Structure 1
Amino acid sequence: MIEVALTTDTTVKPAAAWGAVLSMALCVAMLIASEFMPVSLLTPMAEGLGATQGQTGQAISISGLFAVVASLLITTAAGRLNRKWVLVAMTALMLLSLVLVAAAPNFAVLMIGRALLGICIGGFWALATAVIMRLVPKDDVPRALALMYGGQAIAAAFAAPVGSYLGDLFGWREVFWALTPIVAVNLIWHVVALPSLPAGQRQDVRTMFSLLKRPYFLIGLIASMLSWGSAFTMFTYLRPFLERVTGANVTVLSVLLLVLGCAGFVGTWASGRFLKGDVARLLRLPALLMGGCTLGLLFLGGSPFAAGVLLALWGAMNTAMSVIWMTWMSQNADDAPEAAGSLMVAAVQASILLGAVAGGWLLDGFSIRATFIGSAVLAGAALVLIGNGRRLLKPQ
């Protein structure tokens, strides 16, 4: 979720295009809702397509796989195309993806739809920050980014519980159909609100390879992948856990998912307010707290109240994790932010893939508890790699 290619355009910037920023925020909300809606609809989707829950969880992993590829290749593939129309094309792909998923007659069509969504996710996030920096004056960039990421927080808070509730009332296909008119409006909004955004300098792939040769950056990248991999091993298969272990019906499930999502607002606020200076001491916090909550669910998850408390803590740290790791990236790859951003987008999406695949294998091969144990193991590996965080810092 990082910007890949900064423009080299040195012309005078126009007045802030806040309508375009709001259009970007809505696109973010729709991307997050589309990407993770299968989490809240996993059980009925599996039943409707005649697949196992573990197989259906791969609908998330396939989008992650294609997002990894798209995030690394988008600036090269787009060449000198105007970035406005690249973003419009990405949003059109999201619309097509939703239609394919909603109408999918079988598992194969579902996976094609999710693959298209992955291209949209990787392409959009790879360009998002660069576009925001061209829409508003430099002093307004932090506020514009906060507004855009507000779309992510809103979707994280409400998409899963609302999807779960509406899916029970009307069916999982109708939930995906309900998203299509919103994305269609967003597509038109992009065309109207986004100004012309001529392409800047292309991404230099050699810069990415040079970053990977720096031990502190490579270790940090792997540690961040383990942290996110742990999170998505648990999160992708949260509904089966709450159904089987907590005994949650649709109403309780929706409430617990809402608690998790709303806690994300707290995490976003707290990380923005208190994250200052040296970030090394905070790098282990996401894996420590989220891994601890996952273990807590294994022992206390039979109680809806205990599950709610643990999910609130997990949800708050889940949003803070992005701020912590992206701050680390900005402080320790400041000489190559575009290349670092591309690698971080790819790392996050690869972690989604890792989590969904590993969690689904453990669920189908063993049990839902094995999936959560696997999540905790990945968190432990991240903690070992991070240590006190000092070796992940650029030498002074």
Structure 2
Amino acid sequence: MPAAIYLLSLCIFAMATSEFMVAGMMPSLAAAFHISLAEVGNLVSAFAASVVVGGPLLTLRLRAVRRKPALLGLLALFLLGQLIGAAADSYAQMLASRIICGVAQSAFFGVALALAGELVGMDRIARAAGLVLNGLMLASVAGLPMATLLDQRWGWRVSFWLVAALVGLAMLGIAVLTPAGAKPARQGAAEEIRALDKPALWAAYLSSALIIGSVFTVFTYLAPLFQQVSGFSAALAPALFGVYGVATVLGNLVTGRLADRHTRRVLQGGILTLLAVMLALALGAQWQVLTVAAVFLLGAAGLPMNPAMVARVVRAGGSGAMTNSLHMAVINLGLMFGAWAGGLCLDAGWGLRAPLWLGAALALLAWLSLSLDRGGDSWQAKTRPAEVSV
């Protein structure tokens, strides 16, 4: 794999850490800005909403720009947002920081995967995507705990400044070591949108949204499940999330290697594993050994389907930045829906097992969504394209 692939993974790690870390410092931010925890939660929602809406719109504006300058510009925009957050002395400034960072992250995701496809070819896009997206997994395993620890010891601003420094380091690496990439064809916005008019592509988007929705319906409410149903102490929750995180990293490395040639099988196996895990937890979460095993399998089979999802989307709709940015938006919609729908189950008084049953239902729908694309366009690896200019 080219060095640029690992640099892109570093960028995703920094950006995802910035996205996740707000959840780990909610009490500190609430105290700093004299707001409620619900208002801090709105910062998380604002980030996700800006990914969904702003990212694809910004990607349209970058359609005629070479990959390397586009990446550097998006990193600079993200760095600006991060610095605003680090220096924020009001809730409005922090909200602006989250919106700017969310828009930049979504567009960066699309351009990064487009460049990865150019560098390695469609026959290895899933492996490259797995390495790039490993930054996302590592952010949950290492980035979030690190930011939370820094917040507890030296204050929340230190985490913001550190992520900003990491983004600056990544910018330097991209500037020195990353090829320019092929210049995208000059297309109007209408042409870009018409290029998305492919049933196989939207079938792939639907599967991705349902898979991520299923995962986050359950993941969002694991902490209370551990304590109130499985009977673990609060002190063991970080260790259980550590099991989940390690499984996610390992699973992503494995699926990244398998997903190019076995895209459908990876998705089928992953979805069936999710379904089995959620049913097992719904019926047996009171048994601690089963809970630990299920959490490991949830981590190994849930988010690690990302390389296969990316490979399917790229083969159905091409490796363009707009296709990948919209995929990022769809994934975030699934995430937002899963967390929201699981919360509705709890608010209705159905108990902590209800999100597990809902997650299983979404996994079943994800399985059924695979049948919407019976053709070969979104499953077969394509030939390696010509090398890009440096």
TM-score tier after normalising by the smaller chain length: 0.7 to 0.9
Asked if 2 retains the 8 angstrom alpha-carbon contact of 1:81 and 1:198, the reply is no
The aligned residue for residue 62 of structure 2 is: 78
Instruction: Tell me what 2:380 maps to.
Output: none
Q: In the alignment, what sits opposite 2:367?
A: 386
> Does 2:304 correspond to 1:345?
no
Counterpart AA for 2:98: R
| 2:338 aligned residue | 355
Counterpart-to-counterpart distance in 1, 2:179 and 2:351:
50
TM-fit CA distance, 1:82: 3.9
Q: How far has the Cα of 1:107 moved from its partner?
A: 3.8
Secondary structure of the structure 2 residue equivalent to 1:201 = coil
TM-score for the superposition, normalised by structure 1: 0.76
Q: CA 1:190/1:270 → structure 2, altered by over 3 Å: closer, same or farther? A: closer
Q: What is the aligned partner in structure 1 of residue 170 from structure 2?
A: 186
Are 2:72 and 1:88 equivalent residues in the alignment?
yes
* Matched AA of 1:389: L
- Does the 8 A contact of 2:125 with 2:260 survive in 1? no
Change (3 A) 1:205 1:238: farther
Structure 1, 272-281 or 28-37: larger mean CA deviation: 272-281
Closer, same or farther: CA 207–200 of 1 in aligned 2, 3 Å: closer
Q: Which amino acid aligns with 1:181?
A: A
Aligned to 2:241, the other structure's residue is in SS state: helix
Whole-Å Cα distance in 2 between the matches of residues 101 and 304 of structure 1?
40
Measure, in 2, the Cα distance between the counterparts of 1:39 and 1:297.
25
Letter matched to residue 373 of structure 1: A
Number of the residue aligned with 1:117: 101
Deviation at 1:65?
Answer: 1.7
8 Å Cα contact 1:230-1:291 kept in structure 2? no
**Residue 226 (structure 1) aligned with residue 210 (structure 2):** yes
Query: Identity across aligned pairs (percent)?
Result: 25
Aligned equivalents of 2:205 and 2:36: distance in 1? 32
Offset at residue 50 of structure 1 (A): 4.8
CA distances 1:242-294 after superposition (whole Å, capped 9, x unpaired): 57665644x53332222111101221233245547564455455455435545
How far is 1:72 from its partner? 2.2
Residues in 2 aligned to 1:306 and 1:231: alpha-carbon distance in whole angstroms: 18
SS in 1 for 2:183: coil
One-letter amino acid of the structure 1 residue matched with residue 242 of structure 2: L
User: Where does 1:205-284 land on structure 2 (aligned, <5 Å)?
Assistant: 205-206=190-191, 208-209=193-194, 211-212=196-197, 214=199, 217-236=201-220, 238-239=222-223, 248-249=233-234, 252-275=236-259, 279-280=263-264, 283=267
Q: Is the 8 A contact 2:83 2:164 kept in 1?
A: yes
Matched residue of 2:243: which SS?
A: helix
- Tell me what 1:126 maps to: 110
Residue by residue over 1:329-387, the C-alpha shift from the partner in whole angstroms, topping out at 9 and shown as x without a partner, is: 345x16x4536434322211222333344456666x567956x7346425414413633
Query: Match for 2:313 among 322, 326, 329?
Result: 329
Of 382-391 and 204-213, deviating more is 204-213
Alignment size in residue pairs: 374
> Contact 2:72–2:175 at 8 Å: present in 1 too?
yes
Taking a change above 3 Å as real, the CA distance of residues 234 and 182 of structure 1, as seen in their structure-2 partners, is same
Q: Is the 8 A contact 2:218 2:356 kept in 1?
A: yes
CA contact (8 A) 2:54 2:103 kept: yes
CA distance in 2, matches of 1:388, 1:140: 24
Q: What displacement does 1:208 show?
A: 4.5
Kindly indicate whether residue 354 of structure 2 is the aligned counterpart of residue 373 of structure 1: yes
Deviation at 1:63, TM superposition (A): 1.7
Aligned partner of residue 98 in structure 2, secondary structure = helix
Q: Deviations over 1:153-177 (max 9, x none)?
A: 3323222333344443344443333
The list of structure 1 runs, each at least 4 consecutive aligned residues, that deviate by more than 6 angstroms after superposition, is: 136-143
Report how far residue 59 of structure 1 moved: 2.6
Call closer, same or farther: CA 1:287–1:105 in 2, change over 3 Å. Answer: farther
